[in-house]
């Protein structure tokens, strides 16, 4: 779909594409028709007199010099002619030593010539504008750069390979197929009378489309968990071993552990990876009735953390009689939250039984551990990973959504299909057709097929400089 926004500005751009700081290599990257001649002006290489210089995709060793012929840096330079490049334009990469001063100096000499500094994400934007990738793939590049777990990386790579675009395009094709006979009926009601699909057949088609959209949307929460992490609150009465559990799971003595109840006053957080999920583990103050204003504030914070956590680890001391009040302590747990009950101190004679816990909490996962001795911890870790897998739904091979933007679009498309379903039964055929057309257009924003300037700016402004 050729639209205004896809017109490419073909001036030549430059940016430092690696993070500024001490490192092995720093790369200055140029894209555009002037990039070869410009770099040749500042880069001196003993091969430059050879007739085939610069050969595409060769690495040339030489020096970068300023206007006065003074050496700025040694560099390895590769010249990559269009169209088989990241941007589909002529592209040059100058591999310098990674020092802030020399990299900036190289950039400065180039900027003094006929070239401008790239905007954030402009290299990737050109890849999109020149048709090498679609918008969902461009967003996958951001996802890949920001991924905090292996699973998030895999999800971004799947989208980068074009899986999301393919699924969305398949859905769009199906919408066209559903619309075709409806349109025929509108334009030539007599001629196609016998061949038209029944309302029931169209309903089945719409149901299938809805199903596909819903499956895509299911991936959102899981992916968000991979990207942003899962909040896990450790709560319970004082002295049951909450801080000990935090330390044990982190493999670190982060929290103060003490035999005196009421040791933890404030929230304490640590991060760890479990079952592919980045977890934000939050230790809280033991919940009990108290007159101490500091402890009361700590308990208030514990409750609010528990209210927002996706997973609650409720710790109880198995060596003491079961206190039914803890049921009240954790309620109300919303449908969005999962609960795992941890019966701690299994190294001491046990009074609390798993059955007792089940009786109080219903069908809840209960794990018996000794945080002190480390027994039962692998089982607990497995219970946490399994609980999160169940919470976020089956992991399928379908593409996983990366961004809020894509979620918004799919939600809108789903709404549109539901409206079309209703219209099919109660409105003239024109309305159904129009609603389906709108869904088709909406979905096109995922790949950028129907994206305007605003949308492109929104997506590409999230990139870092030089990407």
Ligand X SMILES: Nc1nc2c(ncn2[C@@H]2O[C@H](COP(=O)(O)OP(=O)(O)OP(=O)(O)O)[C@@H](O)[C@H]2O)c(=O)[nH]1
User: Which residues here bind Mg ion, judged by CB under 5 A?
Assistant: 242-243, 263-264
The residue from 120, 181, 197, 262 that contacts ligand X (CB under 6 A) is 262
Shortest reach from residue 297's CB to ligand X, in Å: 14
Q: How far apart are CA 62 and CA 48, in angstroms?
A: 10
| Interatomic CA distance for residues 429 and 184, integer angstroms | 10
What stretch of H or E contains 236? strand 230-236
Q: Which are the contacts of 314, defined by CB distance < 8 A and separation ≥ 6?
A: 235, 236, 326, 330, 339, 340, 341, 342
CA distances from 184 to 21, 190, 216, 432 (A): 63, 10, 31, 13
Selection from Mg ion, ligand X, none that 262 binds (CB < 5 to 8 A by kind) is ligand X
Considering CB distances under 5 to 8 angstroms, the limit depending on partner class, which of ligand X, Mg ion, none binds residue 345?
Answer: ligand X
Listed ranges 22-30, 171-179, 345-353, 434-442: which one lies at the site for ligand X (CB under 6 A):
345-353
368 near ligand X (CB under 6 A): no
For residue 322, which of 305, 341, 308 has the smallest C-alpha distance?
341
Best CA proximity match to 1, nearest among 178, 169, 183? 169
Taking CB under 6 A as the criterion, which residues in 200-239 touch ligand X? Answer: 236, 238-239
- Parallel, antiparallel, or unpaired for β 311-317 and 338-344? parallel
Q: Which of 199, 207, 348, 351 binds ligand X (CB under 6 A)?
A: 348
Partner that binds at residue 239, options Mg ion, ligand X, none, CB closer than 5 to 8 Å by kind: ligand X
Indicate the helix (H) or strand (E) that contains 27.
Answer: strand 23-31
Contact 413, 213 (CB under 8 A): yes
Choose among Mg ion, ligand X, none what residue 270 binds, the Cβ cut-off being 5 to 8 Å by kind: none
Of 123-131, 261-269, 271-279, 458-466, which segment contacts ligand X by CB under 6 A?
261-269
Q: Tell me if 259 contacts ligand X by CB under 6 A.
A: yes
Which of helix, strand or coil describes residue 429?
Answer: helix
Count of residues of this chain found to bind ligand X when the rule CB under 6 A is applied: 24
Cis (ω within 30 of 0) for the bond into 288? no
Is 359 a binding residue for ligand X by CB under 6 A? The answer is no
Assigned token pair, 28: 């200055």
194 is a contact residue toward ligand X (CB under 6 A): no
Confirm if 404 and 392 have CB atoms less than 8 A apart.
no
Q: Does the protein bind ligand X through residue 258 (CB under 6 A)?
A: yes
Q: With binding defined as CB under 6 A, does residue 261 bind ligand X?
A: yes
Q: Residue 263 or 360: which CB sits closer to ligand X?
A: 263
Please give the Cα distance from 299 to 305 (Å, whole number).
10
Q: Which is nearer to ligand X, 112 or 348 (CB)?
A: 348
For 256, the 3-state DSSP assignment is: coil
Min dist CB 378 to Mg ion, Å, is: 23
| 345 is a contact residue toward ligand X (CB under 6 A) | yes
Q: How far is the CB of 260 from ligand X (least distance, A)?
A: 7
Nearest to 221 by CA among 313, 142, 337: 337
Q: Is 370 one of the binding residues for ligand X (CB under 6 A)? A: yes
Minimum distance between the CB of residue 230 and ligand X, rounded to whole angstroms? 21
Q: Which stretch binds ligand X (CB under 6 A): 133-141, 256-264, 353-361, 405-413?
A: 256-264
Tokens of 388: 């999160």
Residues 278-297 that bind ligand X (CB under 6 A): 285-286
Cα(271)–Cα(246) distance, integer angstroms: 10
Residue 259 binding partner per list ligand X, Mg ion, none, with a CB distance cut-off of 5 to 8 Å that depends on partner kind = ligand X
- Count Cα neighbours of 464 within 13 Å in the Cβ-side half-sphere: 11
**Residue, CB closest to ligand X:** 286
* Cβ proximity to ligand X, 227 vs 264, nearer residue: 264
* CB closer to ligand X out of 66 and 347: 347
User: Binding of ligand X at residue 263 (CB under 6 A)?
Assistant: yes
CB of 286 to Mg ion, least distance (A): 6
From the CB of 285, what's the least distance to ligand X, in Å?
6
Closer residue to ligand X (CB): 108 or 258: 258
Out of 82, 372, 415, 431, the residue judged to bind ligand X by CB under 6 A: 372
User: Which is closer to ligand X, CB of 374 or CB of 452?
Assistant: 374
User: Which positions lie near ligand X, rule CB under 6 A?
Assistant: 236, 238-244, 257-259, 261-264, 285-286, 344-345, 347-348, 370-372
């Amino acid at each position: 779909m050729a639209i205004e926004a896809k017109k490419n500005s073909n001036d030549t751009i430059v940016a430092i594409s690696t993070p500024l700081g001490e490192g092995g290599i720093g790369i200055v990257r140029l894209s555009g028709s002037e990039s070869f001649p410009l770099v040749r002006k500042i880069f001196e290489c003993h091969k430059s007199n050879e007739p085939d210089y610069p050969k595409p995709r060769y690495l040339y060793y030489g020096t970068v010099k300023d206007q006065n012929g003074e050496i700025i840096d040694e560099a390895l330079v590769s010249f990559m002619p269009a169209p088989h490049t990241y941007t589909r334009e002529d592209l040059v990469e100058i591999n310098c030593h990674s020092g802030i001063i020399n990299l900036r100096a190289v950039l400065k000499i180039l900027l003094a010539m006929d070239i401008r500094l790239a905007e954030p994400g402009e290299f990737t934007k050109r890849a999109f504008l020149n048709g090498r990738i679609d918008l969902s793939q461009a967003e996958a590049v951001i996802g890949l750069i920001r991924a905090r777990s292996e699973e998030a990386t895999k999800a971004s790579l799947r989208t980068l390979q074009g899986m999301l675009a393919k699924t969305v395009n398949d859905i769009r094709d199906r919408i066209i197929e559903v619309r075709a006979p409806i349109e025929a009926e509108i334009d030539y009601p007599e001629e196609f009378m016998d061949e038209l699909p029944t309302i029931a057949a169209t309903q089945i088609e719409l149901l299938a489309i809805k199903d596909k959209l819903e499956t895509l949307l299911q991936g959102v929460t899981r992916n968000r968990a991979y990207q942003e992490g899962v909040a896990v609150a450790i709560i319970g009465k004082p002295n049951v071993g909450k801080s000990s559990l935090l330390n044990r799971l982190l493999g670190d003595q982060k929290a103060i552990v003490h035999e005196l109840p009421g040791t933890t006053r404030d929230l304490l957080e640590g991060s760890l990876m479990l079952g592919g999920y980045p977890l934000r583990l939050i230790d809280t103050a033991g919940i009990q009735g108290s007159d101490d204003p500091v402890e009361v504030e700590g308990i208030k914070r514990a409750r609010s953390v528990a209210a927002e956590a996706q997973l609650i680890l409720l710790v109880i001391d198995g060596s003491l009689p079961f206190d039914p009040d803890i049921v009240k302590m954790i309620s109300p747990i919303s449908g969005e939250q999962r609960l795992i009950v941890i019966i701690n101190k299994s190294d001491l004679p046990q009074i609390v039984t798993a059955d007792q816990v089940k009786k109080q909490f219903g069908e809840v996962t209960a794990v018996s551990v000794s945080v002190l001795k480390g027994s039962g911890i692998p089982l607990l870790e497995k219970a946490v990973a399994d609980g999160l897998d169940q919470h976020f739904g089956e992991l399928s091979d379908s593409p996983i959504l990366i961004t809020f933007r894509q979620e918004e679009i799919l939600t809108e498309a789903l709404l549109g299909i539901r409206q079309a379903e209703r219209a099919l039964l109660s409105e003239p055929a024109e309305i159904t057709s129009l609603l389906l057309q709108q869904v088709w257009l909406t979905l096109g924003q995922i790949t950028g097929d129907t994206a305007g300037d605003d949308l492109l700016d929104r997506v590409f402004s999230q990139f870092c400089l030089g990407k």
